């Protein structure tokens, strides 16, 4: 019997769907993603975190979806995999990316590195030099983080990038976020 709050599922698993972790048999990252994508109501932030932590790829999960096409939730899983991205480093970054895409904007690239500047951005579009940064509470409350953010954004702007910053409070106003980013993309020549 499961502990309160734990849901137990029983399936027959193929040998390539399990592995050993700390001497315990567990599902592989791909199989875990397969089940999360089928069974969880809002799977994308969880899939993003799993892909980020394990290096598993959506293509690995698609192979399982093909193998188990008749199982409940596989169509929903496939739709989630289209939006999943292992580059997101927090659930809020995942949610922000989904707000942008569901708002009709092109899929942004995540964790864009600027090796010459020794910085990276949460997400953006290289072609139009538009960055979108999610600023959690530590970006406002931690003096060092705030100072670094100011310097980092100045470096990006000097390199010709436009930065749209999004706070936790703004996440409740998705239309405002989408319109701000859309305006920056259009000004940079994106035809949306």
Which CATH superfamily is 91-187 part of? Answer: VSR Endonuclease (3.40.960.10)
In a structure prediction context, what are the per-residue pLDDT tens digits for the chain, which is 192 residues long?
678 888 888 889 999 999 999 999 999 999 999 999 999 999 999 999 999 999 999 999 999 999 999 999 999 999 999 999 999 999 999 999 999 999 999 999 999 999 998 999 999 999 999 999 998 766 566 788 788 889 999 999 999 999 999 999 999 999 999 999 999 999 999 999
Return residue ranges of the chain for CATH 3.40.960.10.
91-187
Three-state DSSP at 2 gives coil
Cα radius of gyration (the chain): 19
If you write DSSP's letter for every residue of 83-148 in order, what string do you get? Answer: H--TT--SHHHHHHHHHHHHTTPPPPEEEEEETTTTEEEEEEEGGGTEEEEEE-HHHHH-HHHHHH
């Amino acid at each position: 019997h499961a502990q309160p709050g734990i849901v137990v599922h029983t399936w027959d698993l193929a040998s390539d769907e399990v592995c050993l972790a700390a001497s315990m048999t567990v599902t592989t990252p791909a199989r875990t993603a397969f089940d999360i994508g089928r069974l969880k109501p809002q799977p994308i932030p969880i899939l993003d975190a799993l892909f980020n932590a394990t290096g598993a790829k959506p293509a690995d999960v698609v192979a399982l979806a093909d193998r188990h096409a008749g199982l409940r939730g596989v169509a929903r899983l496939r739709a989630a995999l289209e939006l999943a991205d292992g580059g997101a480093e927090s659930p809020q970054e995942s949610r922000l990316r989904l707000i942008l895409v569901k708002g009709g904007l092109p899929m942004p690239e995540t964790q864009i590195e600027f090796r010459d500047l020794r910085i990276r951005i949460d997400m953006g579009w290289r072609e139009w030099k538009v960055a979108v940064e999610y600023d959690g509470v530590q970006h406002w409350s931690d003096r060092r983080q705030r100072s670094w953010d100011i310097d980092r954004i100045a470096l990006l702007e000097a390199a010709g990038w436009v930065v749209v910053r999004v706070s936790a409070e703004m996440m409740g106003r998705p239309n405002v976020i989408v319109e701000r980013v859309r305006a920056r993309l259009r000004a940079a020549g994106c035809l949306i």
